[in-house]
Structure 1
Amino acid sequence: MNLVLETERLIHRPLVLSDAQALFDMNKNPEVHKYLWQKPEKEIEESIKVIEYVNRQYAENNIGRFATILKETGEFIGWTGIKFVNDHVENGNTNFYDYGYRLAEKFWNKGYATEASIAWLDYGFNKMKIDKMNAYTHAENGASNHVLQKVGFNFMEDYPDTEGVIWKWWQIVNSGQ
């Protein structure tokens, strides 16, 4: 996968194995996992498996989550991007495009999630010609719910996961189609 997207402050490039330590540093933080099933990573091998999984998605679906890099410093700040969900069912759906992101805590509340989201929606709708994109967030994750609403996602419904945790299901339709 050789796609690279740039925004004013960010570079979005494919995840590579050399991102494992930075990914692990982000994913071992309990605050990052507060609204993500409460399962912070304990071993760097977990991050390596994530990168390998994402690289398989690139090969199979020609898209996936991308490393997000701060232009100014070259720091890995998290991942953002579009994923084709065909490996599980979410809110009764499979075979759909999902937008998502995860940022390291020190990069929260700086507008990076919004900046990345706008770029990825533009790419998904105008380059990939996706008809509609979904996203899902923990019902109590006010910051992420706000970002999705701000960039144009429409709240569709609340739904429980298999453990009874309530999630919000979001959708945005390609108006240029």
Structure 2
Amino acid sequence: MYVITTDRLRLRPLSTADTDWWVRLHADPEVGRFVGSYTREQAAARLHTIEQQWERRGHGLCAVELTGTGETIGRAGLFWWEQFDETEAGWTLARAHWGRGYATEAARAVLDWGFERLSLPTITAMIHHGNDGSTAVARRLGFTRLREDELAGRPLTVHVLDRAGHRAARP
């Protein structure tokens, strides 16, 4: 089941069946530098939480696949952070697919979905310090800096976007 499709991408809900892929994605030191690495057990637990969000909230993180080949190249979607009382748009791609516009394309589709289909009033993007690529994606999408915070003991900048800002930033 695909939740979102674009010209180049398909996004489908992640599940515990994606555990081995999740571990491989995060094992790359350049990817893990900002989002951490996972053991198989940690990945299965995280994916179980994502499955629960799909069941309880009707949204969650998705696997990002290329429409032409079906190759899974990353993850993107919406994640509810109870401790922040916020829904975050997140995106992470395998390094081999950086610099091709896929993160912006996937994140824009996720934002369309969140604002238009789920009627969310605001969406955040939590970006770890030094992650210049994700900061550039957030700016292209219209996000603005909201606050400094931390997640799992790591400092990050929280960016925010509302429905009007999203509409204004559309190409």
Q: Is the TM value for this pair above 0.5?
A: yes
Question: Mind listing any 5+ residue stretches in structure 1 that lack a counterpart?
Answer: none
Give the distance between the partners of 1:50 and 1:140, measured in 2 at CA.
24
Residue in structure 2 matching 1:171, options 137, 160, 166: 160
Letter in 2 for 1:8: D
1:66 has 2:62 as partner: yes
Match of 1:75 in 2: 71
Moved over 6 A (4+): none
Match of 1:145 in 2: 135
| Identity rate, percent | 27
Give the distance between the partners of 1:16 and 1:172, measured in 2 at CA.
27
- Alpha carbons of 1:162 and 1:48: their partners in 2 closer, same or farther (altered >3 Å)? closer
Match of 1:20 in 2: 19
Letter in 1 for 2:30: E
Residue in structure 1 matching 2:81, options 85, 94, 98: 85
1:48 has 2:55 as partner: no
When normalised by structure 2's length, the TM-score is 0.88
Letter in 2 for 1:172: L
Structure with the higher helix share, 1 or 2: 2
Q: Does the aligned pair in 2 maintain the 1:139–1:158 contact within 8 Å?
A: no
Letter in 1 for 2:121: D
The SS at the match of 1:123 is helix
Q: Does the aligned pair in 2 maintain the 1:149–1:155 contact within 8 Å?
A: no
1:116 has 2:106 as partner: yes
The SS at the match of 1:72 is coil
Question: Mind listing any 5+ residue stretches in structure 2 that lack a counterpart?
Answer: none
Give the distance between the partners of 1:99 and 1:55, measured in 2 at CA.
16
Q: What is the CA distance between 1:166 and its match in structure 2?
A: 3.3
Cα deviation, 1:97-144, whole Å, max 9, x if unaligned, reads 111111111111111100011111111111111111111101211000
1:133 has 2:123 as partner: yes
Aligned pairs (5 A) from 1:87-106: 89=83, 94-106=84-96
The SS at the match of 1:169 is strand
Aligned residues: 165
Give the distance between the partners of 1:108 and 1:34, measured in 2 at CA.
15
Letter in 2 for 1:171: V
Letter in 1 for 2:48: E
